[in-house]
């Protein structure tokens, strides 16, 4: 399935049905009077967050969503049938933006959450409504209100507990594959990850969701590379895991590049709790590990974890550190013991 996280959609609610001009005509009823019914209400346009979706690819093939108009009123005081609603089924975590692509109309973060995007027009009154003591045979009725037409944007921000950040080839996809059932593409060249990947991670009988996004490079906030395009997917994360390639000659510079791009993109990301880990230690000797760990701690001002995604060294300690931050944000039901976790 292709990944799509931004889509432009055209919507229109249904117009109301027109009121009816009708008069009661029955044998032996000399003065029947008006009996025109009202028009039906036009259908609304809704957006609903549904589980099981993680892409907006469906909106690439269908961009127009029109609700049905209400039926016209009829004689014998019969009201027209209301129009059918149009419902946009979107993944959980979808932001709905106005046409300017900046104004947020709604943010659907819970399954089943719904928002009204365009209200259908009211049906017009039939001539029965205009009957009075001085106007006993009105021959006028109201037309229905027109529907609302607008253009909106759908922007998906994945719901994840932890987010992976780092330079290309820092080992993010390898780490995600080692700790979850996710199978991201892994290769020895940069930008093997072209779109975000989600994986369910388990540690000490606890589970949480981790998101891996394409690697960041210097100048990403100015449009270089593809990593900054997906930074929005980790804005909802409770914590970030910053992986640094231990085989790099300048681990401090690598970390500085990533942190600079995070800060340039959004102060929200820089304010998030963050864990830094020196990856690929299986390819280094102890002296090199100690030196580069010190350089990294001096640059970030944080305790640096040592790990290897390939050899699975230090992975459990990193996951426990992540859970220490994520755990308080989970509902108590998530902490129920259901037997030992098996990787």
Answer yes or no: is 156 a known binding residue: no
Answer yes or no: is 213 a known binding residue: yes
Answer yes or no: is 56 a known binding residue: no
Answer yes or no: is 280 a known binding residue: yes
Cα 165 from Cα 153, distance rounded (Å): 27
Answer yes or no: is 208 a known binding residue: no
Alpha helix locations (H) across 52-188?
58-61, 172-179
Q: How far is CA 204 from CA 290, 305, 336, in A?
A: 28, 18, 12
Answer yes or no: is 251 a known binding residue: no
Answer yes or no: is 330 a known binding residue: no
Answer yes or no: is 166 a known binding residue: yes
Answer yes or no: is 282 a known binding residue: yes
Cα 194 from Cα 184, distance rounded (Å): 10
| 3-state SS, residue 295 | helix
Cα 15 from Cα 40, distance rounded (Å): 9
Cα 255 from Cα 299, distance rounded (Å): 8
Q: What dihedral do alpha carbons 18, 19, 20, 24 form, nearest 10°?
A: 160
Token duo for residue 217? 């490079």
Answer yes or no: is 327 a known binding residue: no
Answer yes or no: is 57 a known binding residue: no
Assess contact for 235 and 268: CB atoms under 8 A.
yes
Answer yes or no: is 272 a known binding residue: no
Answer yes or no: is 191 a known binding residue: yes
Dihedral pair phi/psi, residue 117, rounded to 5°: -95, -35
Answer yes or no: is 89 a known binding residue: no
Answer yes or no: is 170 a known binding residue: yes
Answer yes or no: is 173 a known binding residue: yes
Answer yes or no: is 169 a known binding residue: yes
Which residues lie closer than 8 Å to 49 by C-beta, 6 or more apart?
Answer: 90, 91, 92, 93, 94, 108, 109, 110, 111, 112, 113, 114
Answer yes or no: is 40 a known binding residue: no
Answer yes or no: is 264 a known binding residue: no
- Give 3-state DSSP helix, strand, coil % of the chain, rounded to 5: 25, 25, 50
Answer yes or no: is 279 a known binding residue: yes
- Binding-site positions for GTP read 166-173, 191-195, 212-215, 279-282, 308-310
- Binding-site positions read 166-173, 191-195, 212-215, 279-282, 308-310
- Binding-site positions for Mg(2+) read 173, 193
């Amino acid at each position: 399935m292709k990944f799509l996280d931004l889509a432009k959609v055209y919507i229109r609610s249904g117009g109301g049905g027109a009121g009816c001009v009708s008069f009661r005509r029955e044998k032996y009823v000399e003065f029947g009077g008006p009996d025109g019914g009202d028009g039906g209400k036009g259908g609304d346009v809704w957006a609903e967050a549904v589980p099981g979706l993680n892409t907006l690819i469906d909106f690439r093939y269908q961009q127009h969503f029109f609700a049905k108009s209400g039926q016209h009123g009829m004689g014998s005081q019969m009201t027209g049938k209301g129009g059918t609603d149009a419902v946009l089924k979107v993944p959980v975590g979808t932001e709905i933006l106005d046409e300017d692509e900046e104004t947020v109309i709604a943010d659907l973060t819970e399954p089943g959450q719904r928002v009204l995007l365009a209200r259908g027009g009211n049906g017009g009154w039939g001539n029965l409504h205009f009957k009075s003591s001085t106007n006993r045979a009105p021959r006028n009725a109201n037309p229905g209100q027109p529907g609302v037409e607008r253009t909106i944007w759908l922007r998906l921000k994945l719901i994840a507990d932890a987010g992976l950040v780092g330079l290309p080839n820092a080992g993010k996809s390898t780490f995600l594959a080692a700790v979850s059932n996710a199978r991201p593409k892994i290769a020895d060249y940069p930008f093997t990850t072209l779109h975000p990947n989600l994986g369910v991670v388990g540690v000490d009988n606890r589970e949480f969701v981790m998101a891996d996004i394409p690697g960041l490079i210097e100048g990403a906030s100015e449009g270089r590379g593809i990593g900054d395009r997906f930074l929005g997917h980790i804005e909802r994360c409770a914590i970030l895991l910053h992986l640094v390639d231990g085989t790099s000659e300048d681990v401090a510079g690598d970390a500085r590049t990533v942190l600079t791009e995070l800060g340039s993109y959004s102060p929200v990301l820089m304010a998030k709790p963050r864990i830094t880990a020196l990856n690929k230690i299986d390819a280094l000797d102890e002296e090199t590990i100690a030196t580069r760990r010190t350089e990294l701690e001096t640059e970030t001002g944080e305790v640096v974890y040592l790990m290897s995604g390939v050899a699975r060294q230090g992975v459990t300690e990193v996951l426990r550190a992540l859970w220490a931050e994520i755990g308080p944000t989970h509902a108590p039901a998530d902490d129920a013991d259901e037997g030992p976790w098996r990787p």
